Structure 1
Amino acid sequence: MKKYLSVLLAALLLMLSACSNNSSGNEAKTGDSKHPAGTITVWGWDVAAATMKASVEKFQKKYPDVKVKVEDFNSGDLYEKLTVGLAARGSGLPDVVLMEDERIPGYTFQFPQGFSNLTKLGYDKYKDSFNPAKVAAVQDKDGNFVAAPWDIGPAGVFYRVDYFEKASVDPKSIETWDDYIAAGKKIKEATGAKMLPIDIPNYDGIFQMMMQQQGLSYFDQDGKITLDSPEAVGAMNVIKKLHDEDLVLNNNGWDGIVTATVNGTVATVPYGVWYTGSIMDQAPDLKGKWDVFYLPSFEKGGNRYANLGGSSLLIPSTSKNQSAAYAFVDFFTTDQDSQMLGFEKYGLFPSLKETYNAPQFTENSEYFNNSPVFKKFADIVDDVPKIHLNENFAKASKLTSNAQAAILLENKSVEAALKDAQKQLENEIK
C-alpha cells in the first residue's frame, strides 16, 4: 500500500510540475495587460503600413517583450483576406488590422463577434483626445469603441493661386456654392480651366462632403435613408449647375484627378487634407501656385466643414495575444511622435488633437503660397458635423454615383434620380 501511495504521489507531483511549467510558458509568450509579451502581426497598406513599421522601434522601447510584424498589402487584398478569415472564424487573421472608417460598420454588422471591444480594454479614457465626428465613426450603437482612431481627412478646396489672380477672383469672396459657380465661370473664361474634377459614374465624394456639411451622410442620425431628402436634392442641384455651366471635368478615377492637378486643366480640387502630399509629390514645379480655402456653404454663414477619408485600428477577437495587440493599438494611436511621423513623412493627418500644437501645424508652407495650410485644417477639426455611418454605406455610395451619372450624363432630373436611388436602396436593404 505504501509503495502504491508513493507512486501516486510521485505522479501527482509530476503533473503539478508540468502544469506549472505550461503556465509559465504561456505567460512568457503572451504576458498580461501590465506586461504584454509575445509576437503580434499587424495588417496595413501603403504609407499607413510604412508609418506603422517606422513606429515599431519606439513602441518596443516601451514594450521590449513584444515583437511586431507589420504586413503590407494592397488594400483590396487586405479586405479580401480579412473577410475570408472572419468567415472562417479567425483563421489566418492578424492581431491588429487597419480599416477605413466607412467600412467599419459593414464589417462589425456582418461579423458582430469579429472584433474586440476596445472600451472594455480601457480605450474609453481617450474619448476626449479626438474630435466628436471621428469618435462617432469608431463607436457602436452602444457607444463602445470598436476601433481606435488614427488619421482623418478634414476637407477644403485646393485652388490654383495664379488662375484666381488671372481671373481677378478673390478666394475670400467665395462663401457659398453660388459664389463658387460664379467664380468658376470667370476663371474658365480667363484661363480655359474647368473648376473641378469629378469621376461622374464612379465617385460621389463631392456629394458626400456636401451632405456632411448639412449634418448627414446617406442616412440621418436615426439610420433613415436621406437620398431624396431636401439636403440631398440641394447638394445634387449644385453639382448639376456646375456641370451645366461646363465647369466639371469628367475624370477617370484617382489617376484622373492627379493628372488634372498636374497639367492645370482644373482650377480647384475639393478634397481631404491628405491630398496635400499628392500635390507636392506629383507637381513639385507648381510650388507656390496652390493654396486652400474652406468648402463653400449652401447659404451665407452656413457650415463649411466636412471630412473625407480616414482610417482606424481594430483588434480581431480571435487574436491569441490581446494584451500585446491592445498595447500596440493604444500606443500607436495616442503617441504623439508616431502620429507626427505619419504626418511629416507621408501627409497622413492625425486625429489625435494634441498634435495640432506642434510647429508643423502652425508654420507657413512655402509650397502652399506661404500660408499655414495645415493650421487651416486643424482649426476646423472640432467643427466637422457628426454623421451616421452604417453597414449600407457602400451600397448607398454606389447608388448615389449611379444617380449622379444619370443626372449629368443622361439628363435625368435630380428629384427623379434621387427618388429612384432612395427606393432601390430601401429595397436592397429589405
Structure 2
Amino acid sequence: MPIARAAKRAAVRLGAVALAGALLAACGSGSSDTASDGEGGKVTLTVDLFGSFGYKEAGLYAEYQKLHPNITIKQTDTEDEADYWKSLQTRLAGGGGLADVQGIEVGRIASVTQQQADKFEDLKKYGADKLKSQFADAKWAAATTKDGAVLGLGTDVGPEAMCYRTDLFKQAGLPTDREELAKKWSTWEGYLELGKQYKAKAPAKSAWLDSVGSLFSIMIGQEEERYYDASGKLIWETNPALKTAWDTSVKAAEGDLSAKLDQWSPQWNQAFAAGSFATIPCPAWMLGYIKGQAGDAGKGKWDIAKLPGGAGNWGGSYLSVPRAAKHKKEAYELIQWLTAPEQQAKLFQKQGNFPSSTGAIEKVAGATDPYFSGAPIGQIFGDAAKAAPVQVLGVHDQNVNQQITNALSEVERKGISSEKAWGNAKKGVENTIG
C-alpha cells in the first residue's frame, strides 16, 4: 500500500562486505533456491505483508497456484505497518523467521537501499533488469541502490483523492455531485469550510473526517520535499509546506471536525461501517480497505472526488526477497508475476490499488467502480498519478511521519496546544532516529 516518493540514495557497502553477504546468502540458513518442502517438488512460498495488498481478495494467489500446481502460497499479514516494520527489523537482524517474500512500504524503501542492501536479494540475478521499462521511472529508481542492485519490484502507487459518504452528505444538506464538490473544496480552506457546514447539520455521532493524522499525511503527500531534501538533509522542522500541513491539521482538530480515531485501530476499522465520519483522505489503495471494513452494506453509499489542493501521492509498496529466504528463485517468479501489468490491472479493478506499471495504467484508464457510486476511478486516480510530484525519499520518512501524526493526535484527543505538540513531535523524532 499504499504508499511513491522519488529517492536519493547513499552508497551501499561494497567489496568484502558484499562478498560476505553473498556467501552468507548461499551458505546460511541451510536453504537453496531449488529447495522443496515435500515430495514431487512441491514448494510452499511464504509471503509476509502489511495492510491490504489485496492479492488473496482479488484471486491472484488462486490463479497463480492454478498456473503452478507445485506452488502453495501462504500469506501472513500485519494490519499496522509500523508493527510490521519493527518485527521485520528484528528478524533481519537475527537472520531467521523471514518469509520468502516481504512487503516494503515506500516510506521504508530508502532505508532498505541505503542501509540494508546486504539483507535482500539483488533481483537482477533473476532477470529483473529486463523489467525496468514496465515501471514508472521513479518507482523503479527508488528500489535501486547506488551501485545498481534492484531490491524490490513495485506493486502500487498511492495517487490521492477524497472519498465521501453521499448518504451522510444528503442528511447534512450538502451537495453530493463529485464535480461540484471538487470545486467547493478546490483548496484545503474550502474543505474545512465545508466541514463546518457539515458539523452544523451532521447526523448524530458523525464527524467530518476520520483523523487529523490522515489529513496531514495526505497533504504532505502533495509535496516534493517533505522530511528530507535532495541532499539527504533532514528538513522537516524548517519545511514551510510541512508547517502548512501541520497548521491545517491543527485547525481541523481545534474545530472539532474529526472523529478522533487512530488509523488502523479497531475503533477506526469499525467506524467505516458505523458512519462515524463523512470523508476520508483517500489514496487509491484505501478503496480496497473501505470495501473490506464497510462491507456490502456500504456499496453505493460512497463516492470519490478530486483532492483539495492538487494532486499528490501517499503510499505504495514493493515486494522483496530476503537473502535468508528459503525459496529465492520461486519467490522472484511469484513477485514478477504479481507485479506484471496484467495482474496490476486486475488488482486495481478489483481492489483499487493503483498500478506502478506503465502498461497497467493504460489498461485501467476507463475503469469505474460500482461500490463507489460508479466513480471513474481510472480517470480520477490516473490524472492524480500523472500530476503528482516526484517525491524525495529519506531513510526515516515513515518514522518522522509517525511522530508527527502521534503529536497531532494529542492535539486532537487531549486538546494540548499546537506548540507543545510540535515540541513533542521534535522529541519523538530525536528519540526515534537520533
TM-score interval w.r.t. the shorter chain? 0.7 to 0.9
* Aligned counterpart for 1:294 among listed residues 294, 306, 324: 306
Structure 2 residue aligned with 1:330, among 333, 336, 342? 336
Q: Which residue of 1 aligns with 2:128?
A: 123
Per the alignment, residue 15 of structure 1 pairs with: none
Return the match for 1:215 from 210, 224, 231: 224
| Structure 2 partner of 1:306 | 312
The unaligned stretches of length 5 or more in structure 1 are 1-25, 31-36, 298-303
Q: 1:294 to 1:216 in 2, by over 3 A?
A: farther
Alpha-carbon separation, structure 1, partners of 2:331 and 2:289: 31
Question: Aligned partners of 1:418, 1:143: CA distance in 2, in Å?
Answer: 39
CA contact (8 A) 2:354 2:381 kept: no
Q: Give the letter aligned to residue 401 of structure 2.
A: S
- AA aligned to 1:138 is A
Aligned residue type for 2:136: N
CA shift in 2, pair 1:404/1:231, >3 Å: same
Residues 295 and 305 in structure 1, CA contact (< 8 A), matched pair in contact too: yes
Aligned match for 2:62, one of 54, 73, 83:
54
Distance of 1:413 and 1:392 partners within structure 2: 23
In structure 2, C-alpha distance between the alignment counterparts of 1:251 and 1:263, rounded to whole Å: 13
Give 1:237 deviation, angstroms.
0.8
* Residue number among 116, 122, 125 corresponding to 1:111 in the alignment: 116
Contact 1:152 1:311 in 2 (8 A): yes
Q: Is contact 1:108–1:115 with CA below 8 Å preserved after alignment?
A: no
TM-score with structure 1 setting the length? 0.75
Q: CA deviation at 1:252?
A: 4.2
Relative to structure 1, the CA distance from residue 326 to residue 38 in structure 2 (aligned partners, 3 Å threshold; closer, same or farther) is farther
When the two structures are superposed, what TM-score results if normalisation uses the length of structure 2? 0.75
CA contact (8 A) 1:227 1:400 kept: no
- CA contact under 8 A between 1:41 and 1:95: conserved in structure 2? yes
- Aligned equivalents of 1:411, 1:105: Cα separation in 2: 33
Other-structure match for 2:188: 177
Q: Secondary structure at the match of 2:117?
A: coil
RMSD between aligned alpha carbons?
3.5
Structure 2 CA distance for aligned equivalents of residues 244 and 187 of structure 1: 16
SS in 1 for 2:119: coil
| SS of aligned partner of 2:390 | coil
**Which amino acid is 2:62 matched to?**
A
SS in 1 for 2:145: coil
**Distance in 2 between the 1:373 and 1:396 partners?**
31
1:284 is the counterpart of 2:287: no
1:74 alignment partner, SS class: strand
Q: How far has the Cα of 1:249 moved from its partner?
A: 1.4
Residue of structure 2 equivalent to 1:351: 356
Answering whether residue 378 of structure 2 is matched by residue 378 of structure 1, we say no
Shift of 1:270: 0.7
Change (3 A) 1:426 1:84: closer
Gaps of 5+ in 2: 1-30, 36-40
- Indicate the structure (1 or 2) with the bigger Cα radius of gyration: 1
- 1:367 pairs with 2:375: no
Tell me what 1:13 maps to: none
Aligned pairs, number: 381
Task: Confirm or deny: 8 A CA contact 1:149 1:333 kept in the other structure.
Answer: yes
Q: Which residue of 1 aligns with 2:174?
A: 167
Is contact 1:148-1:329 (8 Å) kept? yes
Find the residue that maps to 2:162 and give its secondary structure. strand
Distance verdict in 2 for CA 1:81–1:190, change over 3 Å: closer
1:259 is matched with 270
